[in-house]
């Protein structure tokens, strides 16, 4: 059994049926964590869980739509009923919409993405808070560089991630006296949407894209060390300085980054 800080740690991962959430579960399973995996797709969620069980982990799956406040409450209650406590909450579930604002069919899409990316994380954190305070545990927010920089064609996503980042920055000092750490992770372009090629497992990813395995590993390292934040974009903090001193240049950079990401997604779709 691993001597990881996550051994016997009761960890909730939202959005665990695919992408970063699934990879976090895969990496935590052999470390001896007690997992609570949440997602909307029960088939993919159970596939993730079975993989983790084969690695020796104890796993509880909870299907939940985190745009519904009651589902967030039920997720936390299910975790406590199964394990008796919560040590770590990883708020990972999220979605994105790629479209200019003028191309939205109606503004309800903005409401839906904020409901999942921001309020879903806030609701889960609210209901888990009493238990995490008891365990002096960890809260992890898988945010995005879109939480600190505006990217054109992603206005709804950017708004939801800015709200998410601000929320967790605000509660961090509230929880300091309880020994609870709040780690905000800011991934950039993650290849969670690109499946591995079984014919060429060593095939390189497009330049600038981070493998989902690396993203999950860095996230867990930051959480284990109780880091305040982690910027995964090359020169992430430099981009924040650029926002202050040369905002026009940053706008050009962000527009080019979005176009590049769209091209990669189209090529791999």
Residue 20 contacts residue 212 (beta carbons within 8 Å): yes
Q: Is 178 helix (H, G, I), strand (E, B) or coil?
A: helix
* Nearest one of 268, 243, 216 to 18, comparing CA atoms: 216
Token readout for 101 is 């604002």
Q: Count other C-beta atoms under 10 Å from residue 153's C-beta.
A: 18
The residues near 74 (Cβ < 8 Å, ≥ 6 apart) are: 62, 64
The residue from 157, 178, 186, 231 that is catalytic is 157
CA-CA distance, 169 to 189, in Å (whole number)?
22
Distance in angstroms between the alpha carbons of the first and the last residue of the chain: 39
Does 157 participate in catalysis according to the annotation? Answer: yes
DSSP state of 120: I
Residue 242, classed as helix, strand or coil, is helix
Q: Residue 86: helix, strand or coil by DSSP?
A: coil
Helix, strand, coil abundance in the chain, percent, nearest 5: 55, 15, 30
What is the C-alpha separation between 187 and 198, in angstroms, rounded?
A: 26
- The residues carrying an active-site annotation are 157
């Amino acid at each position: 059994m691993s001597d990881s800080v996550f051994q016997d740690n009761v960890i909730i991962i939202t959005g665990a049926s695919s992408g970063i959430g699934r990879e976090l579960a895969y990496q935590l399973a052999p470390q001896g964590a007690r997992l609570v995996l949440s997602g909307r797709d029960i088939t993919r969620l159970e596939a993730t869980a079975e993989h983790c069980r084969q690695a020796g982990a104890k796993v509880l799956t909870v299907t939940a739509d985190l745009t519904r406040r009651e589902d967030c409450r039920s997720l936390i209650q299910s975790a406590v009923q199964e394990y008796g406590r919560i040590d770590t909450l990883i708020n990972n579930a999220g979605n994105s919409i790629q479209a200019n604002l003028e191309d939205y069919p109606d503004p309800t899409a903005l409401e839906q993405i904020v409901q999942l990316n921001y309020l879903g994380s806030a609701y889960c954190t609210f209901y888990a808070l009493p238990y995490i305070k008891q365990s002096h545990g960890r809260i992890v927010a898988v945010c995005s560089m879109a939480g600190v920089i505006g990217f054109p064609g992603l206005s709804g996503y950017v708004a939801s991630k800015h709200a998410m980042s601000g929320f967790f920055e605000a509660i961090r000092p509230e929880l300091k006296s309880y020994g609870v750490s709040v780690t905000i992770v800011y991934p950039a372009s993650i290849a969670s949407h690109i499946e591995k090629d079984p014919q060429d497992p060593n095939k390189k990813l497009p330049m600038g894209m981070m493998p989902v395995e690396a993203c999950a590993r860095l996230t867990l390292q930051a959480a284990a060390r109780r880091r305040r934040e982690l910027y995964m974009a090359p020169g992430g903090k430099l981009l924040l300085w650029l926002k202050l001193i040369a905002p026009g240049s940053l706008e050009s950079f962000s527009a080019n980054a979005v176009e590049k990401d769209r091209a990669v997604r189209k090529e791999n779709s």
